Amino acid sequence: MITIHINATGGRAVPHELVDRALRDVLRGDGVSAAELSVTFVGDTEIARLHDRHLGSPRVTDVISFALHGEGEEPLGDVYIGHEQALRQAADAGVAPDEELARLAVHGALHVLGYDHPEGRDRADSHMFAVQEEVVRRVVGP
Protein backbone atom coordinates (compact mmCIF):
# COMPACT_ATOMS: atom_id res chain seq x y z
CA MET A 1 0.00 0.00 0.00
CA ILE A 2 1.27 3.47 -0.86
CA THR A 3 0.45 6.21 1.63
CA ILE A 4 1.03 9.86 0.75
CA HIS A 5 0.65 12.73 3.24
CA ILE A 6 0.56 16.24 1.79
CA ASN A 7 0.82 19.20 4.14
CA ALA A 8 1.04 22.94 3.56
CA THR A 9 1.98 25.43 6.24
CA GLY A 10 0.73 29.00 6.35
CA GLY A 11 -2.34 28.40 4.20
CA ARG A 12 -0.27 27.82 1.05
CA ALA A 13 -2.25 26.67 -1.97
CA VAL A 14 -0.85 23.42 -3.29
CA PRO A 15 -2.09 21.04 -6.02
CA HIS A 16 -2.82 18.08 -3.72
CA GLU A 17 -4.24 15.77 -6.41
CA LEU A 18 -1.43 16.48 -8.88
CA VAL A 19 1.29 15.95 -6.27
CA ASP A 20 -0.36 12.74 -5.06
CA ARG A 21 -0.64 11.44 -8.64
CA ALA A 22 2.99 12.37 -9.41
CA LEU A 23 4.32 10.66 -6.29
CA ARG A 24 2.34 7.48 -6.93
CA ASP A 25 3.61 7.47 -10.52
CA VAL A 26 7.26 7.81 -9.50
CA LEU A 27 6.92 5.08 -6.86
CA ARG A 28 5.15 2.65 -9.19
CA GLY A 29 7.65 3.45 -11.95
CA ASP A 30 10.43 2.40 -9.60
CA GLY A 31 8.64 -0.88 -8.86
CA VAL A 32 7.46 0.21 -5.39
CA SER A 33 4.07 -1.12 -4.27
CA ALA A 34 4.34 -0.21 -0.57
CA ALA A 35 5.72 3.08 0.75
CA GLU A 36 4.92 6.05 2.93
CA LEU A 37 5.88 9.59 1.95
CA SER A 38 5.15 12.88 3.63
CA VAL A 39 5.45 16.08 1.58
CA THR A 40 5.31 19.41 3.38
CA PHE A 41 5.26 22.78 1.64
CA VAL A 42 6.99 25.47 3.71
CA GLY A 43 8.10 29.09 3.32
CA ASP A 44 11.57 30.54 2.79
CA THR A 45 12.33 30.90 6.50
CA GLU A 46 11.52 27.28 7.32
CA ILE A 47 13.32 25.76 4.32
CA ALA A 48 16.42 27.87 5.13
CA ARG A 49 16.25 26.67 8.75
CA LEU A 50 16.03 23.04 7.62
CA HIS A 51 18.88 23.52 5.19
CA ASP A 52 21.04 25.04 7.93
CA ARG A 53 20.17 22.38 10.48
CA HIS A 54 20.72 19.38 8.21
CA LEU A 55 23.14 20.63 5.56
CA GLY A 56 25.06 23.31 7.44
CA SER A 57 24.11 26.31 5.32
CA PRO A 58 21.23 28.69 6.11
CA ARG A 59 20.13 29.25 2.54
CA VAL A 60 16.78 29.06 0.82
CA THR A 61 16.47 26.00 -1.37
CA ASP A 62 13.69 24.37 -3.35
CA VAL A 63 13.54 20.86 -1.86
CA ILE A 64 15.08 18.82 0.95
CA SER A 65 14.32 15.15 1.47
CA PHE A 66 15.04 12.58 4.12
CA ALA A 67 14.98 8.83 3.59
CA LEU A 68 13.89 7.33 6.89
CA HIS A 69 13.97 3.64 5.95
CA GLY A 70 16.74 1.13 6.20
CA GLU A 71 18.15 -1.02 3.44
CA GLY A 72 15.62 -3.61 2.31
CA GLU A 73 12.72 -1.82 4.02
CA GLU A 74 9.75 -0.25 2.29
CA PRO A 75 10.48 3.37 1.32
CA LEU A 76 9.66 5.85 4.06
CA GLY A 77 10.57 9.48 3.77
CA ASP A 78 9.89 13.15 4.38
CA VAL A 79 10.11 15.76 1.64
CA TYR A 80 10.07 19.51 2.33
CA ILE A 81 9.42 21.87 -0.55
CA GLY A 82 10.26 25.56 -0.41
CA HIS A 83 6.93 26.84 -1.74
CA GLU A 84 8.02 30.44 -2.34
CA GLN A 85 11.25 29.32 -4.00
CA ALA A 86 9.28 26.93 -6.21
CA LEU A 87 7.02 29.77 -7.34
CA ARG A 88 10.05 31.92 -8.20
CA GLN A 89 11.59 29.04 -10.16
CA ALA A 90 8.33 28.44 -12.03
CA ALA A 91 8.20 32.10 -13.06
CA ASP A 92 11.88 32.06 -14.12
CA ALA A 93 11.40 28.87 -16.16
CA GLY A 94 8.07 29.96 -17.65
CA VAL A 95 6.18 26.93 -16.32
CA ALA A 96 2.96 26.73 -14.35
CA PRO A 97 3.44 26.86 -10.57
CA ASP A 98 1.59 23.55 -10.10
CA GLU A 99 3.99 21.87 -12.54
CA GLU A 100 7.04 23.10 -10.62
CA LEU A 101 5.54 22.03 -7.29
CA ALA A 102 4.87 18.55 -8.69
CA ARG A 103 8.40 18.45 -10.21
CA LEU A 104 9.97 19.20 -6.82
CA ALA A 105 7.81 16.58 -5.08
CA VAL A 106 9.01 14.01 -7.64
CA HIS A 107 12.60 15.18 -7.18
CA GLY A 108 12.37 14.74 -3.41
CA ALA A 109 10.74 11.32 -3.75
CA LEU A 110 13.51 10.17 -6.08
CA HIS A 111 16.08 11.15 -3.46
CA VAL A 112 14.11 9.14 -0.87
CA LEU A 113 14.31 6.18 -3.28
CA GLY A 114 18.10 6.54 -3.42
CA TYR A 115 18.54 8.48 -6.66
CA ASP A 116 21.18 11.19 -6.77
CA HIS A 117 22.59 13.67 -9.26
CA PRO A 118 25.79 15.64 -9.70
CA GLU A 119 25.92 19.31 -8.82
CA GLY A 120 26.51 21.99 -11.42
CA ARG A 121 25.72 21.96 -15.12
CA ASP A 122 25.81 18.15 -15.42
CA ARG A 123 22.86 17.94 -13.03
CA ALA A 124 20.23 18.33 -15.76
CA ASP A 125 21.86 15.57 -17.84
CA SER A 126 21.70 12.97 -15.05
CA HIS A 127 19.59 9.82 -15.05
CA MET A 128 17.68 11.16 -12.05
CA PHE A 129 16.60 14.27 -13.96
CA ALA A 130 15.55 12.17 -16.96
CA VAL A 131 13.31 10.05 -14.71
CA GLN A 132 11.98 13.18 -12.99
CA GLU A 133 11.04 14.88 -16.26
CA GLU A 134 9.48 11.70 -17.66
CA VAL A 135 7.17 11.52 -14.63
CA VAL A 136 6.32 15.23 -14.89
CA ARG A 137 5.42 14.79 -18.60
CA ARG A 138 3.16 11.84 -17.79
CA VAL A 139 1.25 13.51 -14.96
CA VAL A 140 1.24 17.15 -16.08
CA GLY A 141 1.32 16.71 -19.85
CA PRO A 142 3.59 18.11 -22.54
Name the residue ranges covered by the structural domains of the chain: 2-135
* pLDDT tens track for 28-78: 999 999 999 999 999 999 999 999 999 888 899 999 999 999 988 999 999
Q: Which fold has domain 2-135?
A: Collagenase (Catalytic Domain) (3.40.390)
d(CA 102, CA 138): 11
The answer to whether the beta carbons of residues 22 and 106 sit under 8 Å apart is yes
pTM, two decimal places? 0.92
Helix residue ranges per DSSP H, the chain: 16-29, 44-55, 83-93, 97-112, 127-140
* pLDDT tens track for 101-137: 999 999 999 999 999 886 877 777 788 889 999 999 9
CA angle 88, 79, 13 (to 5 degrees): 50
Sheet holding 2-8: strands in order across? 2-8, 35-42, 76-82, 63-67
